[in-house]
Amino acid sequence: MGRLELPHLTALEPKSSVSTNSTTSAEDESYIINLVVNVNGFVQHASKIRSWGRRMWELPGWQQAHHRLRKSLPGYCAFCLAPAQLGQGWCSTCFTELPWNIQCCEQCAEPVSQKAQRLCGRCLNEEPALTCTQANLLYQSPIKELVHDFKFNASSRAGMLLAELMLTKMPSQLGTALLAVPMHPQRARERGFNQAQWLAEQLSRRTGLPLIRAKCQKLAASQRTLNRRERVANLHGAFSLTGPLPAHITLIDDVVTTGATGNALAAVARQSGAERVDMWAVARTPLGNN
Ligand SMILES: [Zn+2]
Ligand SMILES: [Zn+2]
């Protein structure tokens, strides 16, 4: 490493330039030697660190980590990493290209093929307990990844973005209180938080509406592999509420899949005094039946 670097030392040595006092003591000299040795050591370390940094940057994992870091920083678009629109978490191009759920059933937010179609075939056949469902987006990429980051990595930035995306188009009527779809305490402990409750808290702050709490007392099997009928049976007796509830309330959830969870909770809310129950979610999984 060339530790002492005496040439540098001699270059600094003319005592008159360091001090006007011509009688520099041995103590001063040793202080200057130590100082120069330390500065040299630092410079060499710094160049080593820079070179390690360059080599590490070439590793794909580090570049991914850098992308993740930029994604977690405000000021960059959460989807493409370009500079974001002022005060937003996205750029205008990505915002336009998001999978917006524009043409959908009023009651369950399932996409419909005809513009004039107010309800989907399923809601026409079997009236749901929910009066209206608002889900501004479809549960497709890149919303799927954002929801995943929020739910499984507990990313508060992803959560804030999802809440902001919900607020880009609010339901025309919200009623007088919000109610998050509850999670069984054991599941909430495993995940660390209830994502619907987290979103409901943000939306309650933004809308000024109070939050009502429901309980989930049944650790139902995962809904993922079940069809709609099985989901309804699986959720039987899952929720409880202490009434009486206000006449019109809005449920909050992250993703509406078949609508079975929202309808099960809405049915309980109706039994507890609510006359109208709506759903406001981030996204809807298209079932493709219409
Ligand atoms: Zn973008
Ligand atoms: Zn429908």
Is pLDDT at 68 greater than 70 in this prediction? Answer: no
Among the residue ranges 94-98, 227-231, 254-258, the one predicted with the least confidence is 227-231
Is pLDDT at 102 greater than 70 in this prediction? Answer: yes
Q: Summarize the confidence of residues 214-223 as an average pLDDT.
A: 84
Helix (H) or strand (E) holding 108: none
Report residue 171 CA to chain centroid gap. Answer: 21
**How many angstroms separate the CA atoms of 179 and 251, rounded?**
5
Longest dimension (CA), the chain: 103
Taking the CA atoms of residue 88, residue 91, residue 93 and residue 99 in that order, the dihedral angle to the nearest 10 degrees is -50
Is pLDDT at 35 greater than 80 in this prediction? Answer: no
Backbone angles phi, psi at 205, to 5 degrees: -60, -45
pLDDT category of residue 129 using cuts at 50, 70 and 90: very high
Which residues are 137's β-sheet partners? 100, 283
Q: Is the dihedral of CA 276, 280, 281, 286 positive or negative?
A: positive
> pLDDT digit string (tens) for 224-239?
777 777 877 888 889 9
Q: Summarize the confidence of residues 117-144 as an average pLDDT.
A: 95
Around 250, how many Cα atoms within 13 Å sit in the side-chain half-sphere? 26
pLDDT category of residue 115 using cuts at 50, 70 and 90: confident
Is pLDDT at 130 greater than 80 in this prediction? Answer: yes
* pLDDT cut 90: percent of the chain above it: 56
Tell me the ligand closest to 81's alpha carbon: 1
pLDDT value at residue 26: 65
Q: Summarize the confidence of residues 275-284 as an average pLDDT.
A: 98
Angle at 159 between CA 185 and CA 137, to 5 degrees: 105
Helix (H) or strand (E) holding 19: none
Q: Summarize the confidence of residues 29-35 as an average pLDDT.
A: 61
pLDDT value at residue 54: 58
Question: For residue 28, how far is its CA from the centre of ligand 1 (angstroms)?
Answer: 59
Question: For residue 127, how far is its CA from the centre of ligand 1 (angstroms)?
Answer: 39
Question: For residue 167, how far is its CA from the centre of ligand 2 (angstroms)?
Answer: 22
Q: How many CB atoms lie within 10 A of CB 241?
A: 20
> pLDDT digit string (tens) for 131-188?
999 999 999 999 999 999 999 999 999 999 999 999 999 999 999 999 999 999 998 8
What residue ranges do the domains of the chain occupy? 6-17+25-57, 98-284
What are the E-state strand segments in 20-112?
none
Check if the beta carbon of residue 181 is closer than 8 Å to that of residue 261.
yes
Q: Helix, strand, or coil here: 250?
A: strand
pLDDT value at residue 133: 97
Q: Summarize the confidence of residues 29-54 as an average pLDDT.
A: 58
11, 22, 33 from 30: Cα distances, Å: 15, 16, 5
**How many angstroms separate the CA atoms of 68 and 78, rounded?**
10
Is pLDDT at 78 greater than 70 in this prediction? Answer: yes
> 139: closest CA among 128, 126, 124, 150?
150
Question: For residue 248, how far is its CA from the centre of ligand 2 (angstroms)?
Answer: 20
In sequence order, what are the residues at sequence separation of 6 or more whose Cβ sits closer than 8 angstroms to the Cβ of residue 151?
191, 195, 254
Question: For residue 190, how far is its CA from the centre of ligand 2 (angstroms)?
Answer: 33
**How many angstroms separate the CA atoms of 114 and 100, rounded?**
16
pLDDT category of residue 222 using cuts at 50, 70 and 90: confident
pLDDT value at residue 183: 94
Residue of higher predicted confidence among 22 and 176: 176
pLDDT category of residue 111 using cuts at 50, 70 and 90: very high
Q: Which CATH architecture has domain 98-284?
A: 3-Layer(aba) Sandwich (3.40)
Write down the mean pLDDT value for the chain: 82
Is pLDDT at 6 greater than 90 in this prediction? Answer: no
Is pLDDT at 20 greater than 50 in this prediction? Answer: no
Check if the beta carbon of residue 125 is closer than 8 Å to that of residue 132.
no
In sequence order, what are the residues at sequence separation of 6 or more whose Cβ sits closer than 8 angstroms to the Cβ of residue 238?
216, 217, 218, 220, 264
pLDDT value at residue 131: 97
pLDDT value at residue 67: 55
Question: For residue 85, how far is its CA from the centre of ligand 1 (angstroms)?
Answer: 9
Question: For residue 285, how far is its CA from the centre of ligand 2 (angstroms)?
Answer: 12
In sequence order, what are the residues at sequence separation of 6 or more whose Cβ sits closer than 8 angstroms to the Cβ of residue 192?
154
pLDDT category of residue 15 using cuts at 50, 70 and 90: very low
